[in-house]
Structure 1
Amino acid sequence: MLGQYDGFLVACYSKHPLVPILKEQEAIKGARKAVTGIFEASVGTSLQITHPDEKFGIVTTGKVWEKILSQAVVDFLGTGSEASKRFAGVETTGLNATDLHDAPPEEVRKRMKDAVKRLLKKGHVGAICLGCAGMSGMNEMVREACVEELGEVQGKRVRIVDGVQAGVAWLEGAVRSDL
């Protein structure tokens, strides 16, 4: 059944066990299917679009994700403490995934912007990953926070990486390239 698809995107922002499981499936290996998760796609994209002197960070939902995603970045990069040279860290909104769409919009906007501003204070952040599939499409409020915190010119230079968009783009390229 898996062989009928060209690629797979795991749309949960985490070091999700389904990514390596799908990569191990015989039907996928034999047919060279592309597999990625939105976490992996956003981190990879962030590293590619930022200057080597810049860092990327993640804005996500609940506090529990700070440690989980920080460790996931270290595991993904395979560099241990060296990850801190490119990784600014994780800041959270205190909302859960359903709150992103069910809470009053002004509360979501405030919490997202506060988390972004805390992340930017960590220094030389060139990219911010939206650390939840439920944050897809929330680029505008992240941009507003960047401009408020850094000013018009610098605030518009920060790249905002939507993991869902990055994952789809990577999969499309991988499928077209027969990777």
Structure 2
Amino acid sequence: MFVNILVINPNSSQKVSDNLKDILVAPPLTKFEFYTAPSHGPEEITPDLSTISGEIALEDILQRDLISKYDGFLICCYSDHPLVHSLAKHTKKPIMGIMQATLLYALSSASKSFILTSVNEWEPVLDKGIIDFVGSDTFPSKRFAKTKGLDVTVLGLSDPKEYAKIENRVIQVLEEYKDSNIDCVLLGCAGMAGLDDKLAASFPHIKFIDSVKVGVELLGALIRFQK
């Protein structure tokens, strides 16, 4: 069964979309096409810009009738992004956010995880996203540790010059969580796509989960199941 997935970058940075194209390998009988939000949308999404980025992307997607052309949609902003919910009002086709994909993965294993994201501003937002996703009143500390930021901008995450800073920050966080039995790190930003292999080489005792890679795998399975 052939599956056609639209990989949606809801910010206007072509650099982020190009990095997704470079690192994603389509499974058999699967085709990816890539969408970048219009240039008048935010180039980098912060918590305050999530709503406007979702509105701009949705309007453009509807105007271009992209919903009719694909079997499913992956929203590549690591958050409970509004586009996940607003797009679902216009189609019954499967839609998945990359944050939700990593949380599904984490909950399906016996690992204890935490989200590693771009900047500290996202930490409380993503922790709340975990609480909402599992349907709890409090943070599920048996399965997750609190989110940590790298203090690296989205557009800098794929820059090889920033890797030493990223690696040093991971060392700090893992030391902070050394008594927490952490063995899995969820890479909490679409701009971190492709960093899983580099980090796994630096920290071989930890699983690093690329949110975009796991997202397309789970979304493809949902599409096939629904069909």
Q: Same fold (TM over 0.5)?
A: yes
Q: 1:96 aligns with which of 153, 160, 182?
A: 153
Contact 2:156 2:162 in 1 (8 A): no
Write the distance in 2 (CA, Å) between the matches of 1:119 and 1:23: 39
Name 2:47's counterpart in structure 1: none
Q: Does the C-alpha gap of structure 1 residues 11 and 78 become closer, same or farther in structure 2, counting only changes over 3 Å?
A: same
Q: Conserved in 1, the CA contact under 8 Å of 2:127 and 2:139?
A: no
The unaligned stretches of length 5 or more in structure 2 are 1-64
Correspondence for 1:5: 70
Higher relative contact order (CA 8 A, sep 6+): 1
CA contact (8 A) 1:13 1:131 kept: yes
1:163 counterpart residue number? 211
Name the CA shift for 1:93/1:115 in 2 (closer, same or farther; >3 Å): farther
User: What is the root-mean-square deviation in Å for CA atoms of aligned residues?
Assistant: 2.1
Deviations, residues 119-176 of structure 1 (Å, cap 9, x unaligned): 64361123210011111111134324534xxxxxxx1xx3221110111001111111
Residue 75 (structure 1) aligned with residue 132 (structure 2): yes
Q: Quote the residue 1:128 is aligned against.
A: 185
Alignment TM-score, normalising by the size of structure 2: 0.65
Partner Cα separation in structure 1 for residue 226 and residue 101 of structure 2: 17
Q: Counterpart in 1 of 2:104?
A: 44
Structure holding more helix per residue = 1
Amino acid at match of 2:220: E
Segments of 5+ residues of structure 1 without an aligned counterpart are: 148-154
Structure 1 length-normalised TM:
0.80
Aligned 8 A contact 2:78 2:97 in 1: yes
Amino acid at match of 1:172: G
User: Could you tell me how far apart the structure 1 residues matched to 2:157 and 2:69 are?
Assistant: 34
CA distance in 2, matches of 1:18, 1:45: 21
